[in-house]
Amino acid sequence: MPLVFYWHPMSSATPVACALAELAVPHERVLIDIRNGEQRTPEYLAINPNGKVPCLVVDGTPLFEGAAILQWLGAQYGVAQQLWPQDGTPQRLRALSWTTWAYVTYAALLARLRLATHDEALRNHDHAAAALAGVDELLDLLEAALRDHDWMLGDAYSLVDLVVGSVVGYGVHVGADVDAHPQVKAWLSRLQARPAMQGEV
């Protein structure tokens, strides 16, 4: 099916770019220059009314929101490559739970942390400390999930690792420290060493 991927490098579209590379899915790629406001043009807003990247147009129908795109790619292309669990299995439920957790629960705390530490107008030590404490609690959950195996769903890598790891890796960039969580740190290193995670995507 024809796929058109609207993106910008080193943005929230990066995990989708990595997933497309991991799955070797043919697609057309359209650069949206978010630095120059191309995401707010009438032409792009007609495709994605959110005015953001990523957006994946599937047979003419736009699919937006990174988590939705990644879960769809997993179900559509990942099952055949054993990179996403089959429908109707407990592993599929785990995949949906953890990928949504990353994009909703964990990412919300990272947004708070970024505002409290990087935004000049909103910088606040107490808010940053509270966000970091919340992040640490969530990393405890991830540490426990990785305690007995190398990857999120067991002994084999899957797109769940890519999705969750992309958000956790971004968290490190904005100040979330994984050093106190050795399983998470080792897992993140394994993930970032994969070829699909390399390069400017």
Using the Cα atoms of residue 132, residue 133, residue 138 and residue 140 in order, give the sign of their dihedral. positive
Q: Which amino acid is at 85?
A: P
Q: What is the pLDDT of residues 17-32, one digit of tens each?
A: 999 999 999 999 999 9
pLDDT per residue as tens digits for the range 44-59 = 999 999 999 999 999 9
- Token readout for 170 is 């971004």
DSSP 186: H
C-alpha 34/C-alpha 16 separation (Å) is: 16
CATH number of the domain within which 55 lies: 3.40.30.10
Provide CB contacts within 8 A for 29, sequence distance 6+. Answer: 4, 5, 7
Region class of 24: left (phi > 0), else alpha (psi between -120 and 50), else beta:
left
**Domain boundaries, position 187:** 90-197
158-194 pLDDT, tens per residue? 999 999 999 999 999 999 999 999 999 999 999 999 9
Q: What CATH number does residue 142 fall under? A: 1.20.1050.10
The residue among 55, 78, 101 that closes a domain is 78
Question: Side chain identity at 133, as an amino acid letter?
Answer: A
Give phi and psi for 57, each to the nearest 5: -95, 120
